[in-house]
Amino acid sequence: MYQTESSWGSYVQPRGFGGDPLERIERLASENAVVIFSISTCCMCHAIKRLFCGMGVNPTVYELDEDPRGMEIERALMRLLGSSTAVPVVFIGGKLVGAMDRVMASHINGTLVPLLKEAGALWL
């Protein structure tokens, strides 16, 4: 696995992860405080990354269109969410928060910041 820094946070491209896509998602999601599964050309993904970075959070971002097995993960995320659209999908503290609608609802109703603090992604 290698990791590079960018203005959006940490982009990680997993290497050599075999097995069940849902197990892979669970493993990747639990490795960092905030994990975003994204597609680099998706405007909603861009907005979610912007939201977290604007809050001072450094999310780990998995760009599925840059992963050779990204389509498998995307299909597994759709099954997990019960939705026809998979990205962006956000995990905080290893727990599924959800897609754009759930993250924005949490932000608006004031529950997002406590989740981030509990996961160690925010200190203020």
Q: For residue 15, with 0-12 CB atoms within 10 Å meaning exposed, 13-18 middle and 19 or more buried, which class applies?
A: exposed
Q: pLDDT class for 107, splitting at 50, 70, 90?
A: very high
pLDDT tens, position by position, 14-73: 444 457 899 999 999 999 999 999 999 999 999 999 999 999 999 999 999 999 999 999
Length of the chain, please? 124
Tell me the sheet residues that pair with 60.
Answer: 10, 35
Burial 43-73 (b: 16+ CB within 10 A, else e): ebbeebbebbeebebebbbbbbeebeebebb
What does pTM read for this prediction? 0.84
Closest-CA residue to 98 (of 41, 35, 53, 51): 35
Mean pLDDT for the stretch of residues 100-109: 95
Percent of the chain at pLDDT above 70?
A: 85
